[in-house]
Chain A
Amino acid sequence: MRVAAASPHSSSLEPVLQDYLTCDQCKRARIKDRRVKIPRPLGQGPSSFIPVKEIVHKGLEDSERQLFIEAFVSTGRVDNVTMVMGLHPQYLESFWKTQYYLLQMDGPLPYHYRHYIAVMAAARHQCLYLVSLHVNEFLQVGGNAEWLNGLNFVPQKMRNLNEINKILAHRPWLITKEHIENLLKTGENSWSLAELIHAVVLLTHYHSLASFVLGCSIRHELDQDGGFTFRPPSPQSCDSDSASNSGSEETVNGSASRDDLRELEILMEKMKLLQEGRPDVEASQEEMATRFEREKRESLLVAPADRESVSPTNLSCFVEDADFGYKDFSRRGEQTPPTFRAQDYSWEDHGYSLINRLYPEVGQLLDEKFQVVYNLTYNTMAMHCGVDTSMLRRAIWNYIHCVFGIRYDDYDYGEVNQLLERSLKIYIKTVACYPEKTTKRMYISFWRHFRHSEKVHLNLLLLEARMQAALLYALRAITRYMT
């Protein structure tokens, strides 16, 4: 006989608050007796943009169920991000594998570093959700609580990372080999190349995940600050919540105004035309070049209206130089950095080869993830089935890269203009560049007839395209450093 500790994970099982509330009598008794405040969830469902019933479905397939179980078992919760991504289980699987590998498996960085980097990255976009999630994790893996007081309390080595954190979050095209050199040059606080790659992947992962969280307006976990309230439930609030829910649904699925329907028809028609071959005369090369420039320019105009910064949060301690934000890649009359040519440094050829050399397993995982998201399709558009959406997906992907200054020689940027309506462009640009400014109005106003799951799909494209863009810039800088 052999003795072994067969204690399955007993890590913090999330208390299911609703269960506590089931027995009204108990509740009343408790309140009376001990004056215990009973927390109550704020809002229902994992996202405040998407109604619960869109996300939580009963008839899960076995493999999907397994995914959630996996997630629960390994982290002790099925967080709201996972719930929303669960709309696209195929993607969720590869996302999970990657994130799990980055955080939990063997790697050059110690565990508490990883979570602290996640906190730093998410704080750049004031993503309270991710920050508090990883603050908890950070403490759980034995991180020094003092670090949480802010960047002034962490070792110099970590603070050095802040510079590229800032750049990668907002203007990745500014990263140069000098930045890399500074981090790697030998000294007391230097990073090793393997550590740096790990850190860069983590940073870009959490920058873009912050985009997703804010773009889908993921609600706080029940046990987080902001996820619950002690206020007793008032009938009005309940009503208003459901009312707003149903209200939003109406705008999404309900009475379809004729204009919106026509928009969809036009989009479909355009796609068909483009697919059949361009009806318009071959655009000259010059024309193509100007189209890219125009798209870049135009992306300036689709900036969101409200420019004032979001209410200051208590995350400022993790952020240095808070004013450093996304600045349009090409402003008129300014010296712009040269356009990044996708053909000269592509993920498939160069990025992968580099990562795979320095942090092997992850190259494979990322490659898989990019491929899954790029090829993900259900051949549906709103209420239409059997549509080849590859044009639309490519347009979105390339538009996001365009916003970050990456140009594909073999793409006609005129297509972006034809396929992406203005409100959609606004949403994409906001979520990709300054996700903290996303509003529900923006979310509702584009693609009115599309399903929520399709909007989530868009957000996934956003997440990955943004991550790839930033990674490409960072890896190119590292390559230049190495040569």
Chain B
Amino acid sequence: MSNESISVAAPQSTRPASDTSAAKTLIEVDNLDFYYGKKQALCDINLEIPEKLVTAFIGPSGCGKSTLLRCFNRMNDLVDVAHIGSGSIKIHGVDINSKNVDVIELRKRVGMVFQKSNPFPKSIYENITYGLKIRGIKKKSYLDEVVERSLRGAALWDEVKDRLHDSALGMSGGQQQRLCIARAIAVEPEIILMDEPCSALDPIATAQIEELIDELKTDFTIVIVTHNMQQATRVSDKTAFFYLGKLIEYDDTARLFSNPDNKQTEDYITGRFG
């Protein structure tokens, strides 16, 4: 067991670690309690997510990672029974749950990529321009430009540039997921939330997405949920470990994996439960 812990803890990626201490806080979670009906899904979460870095959420199934992630763009509004008990979430210091926040504008600034790739049953081109079209942007030359920029940004341009008007559903799973990323970045959000974006992909497609995440972080703040410890160590700068709706430990990724403060964290990352 102990040798496994060492192998996981050793940093797998050779890229230089970002300086996490200097980064400015973008998302600030204060004493957040969250409920599904009467059932509490998150209790007393306090968390500060830094700008232009990758933050990973890990933890066993059902611990509330997705729930917290979906609080950041208020996707939980779609669930009838979901509601915040107390506490707040601030982005740039603005409470996103306050009455005068327009959820539509919020979601424009906080994009999301889902576990199962979900391109619309439309062409590749229409998928990317969707976010702009719903905001009434129709200018062809501008749309063309955005499509190219986003697809290049998602490392997909060379693969699909000749079939932009084919259905997006004819693409491979990995391509579809990168299309979803391209669709998210087309509206130039500040934050991209990713909920297990690679769980349905093979190792090669996963590697491509991870590489992409690394490139995207120069422009975007990324929060990613993952079940894959190696992935967390490879892509993230900071990691938060959740257990039973509580934030157990939150630290620089390198530190959390090599030298966790908490016994539960250690047990989880060494595979003793989860």
Are A and B part of the same complex?
A: no
What is A's interface to B at a CB cutoff of 8 Å?
none
Residues on B facing A (Cβ under 8 Å): none
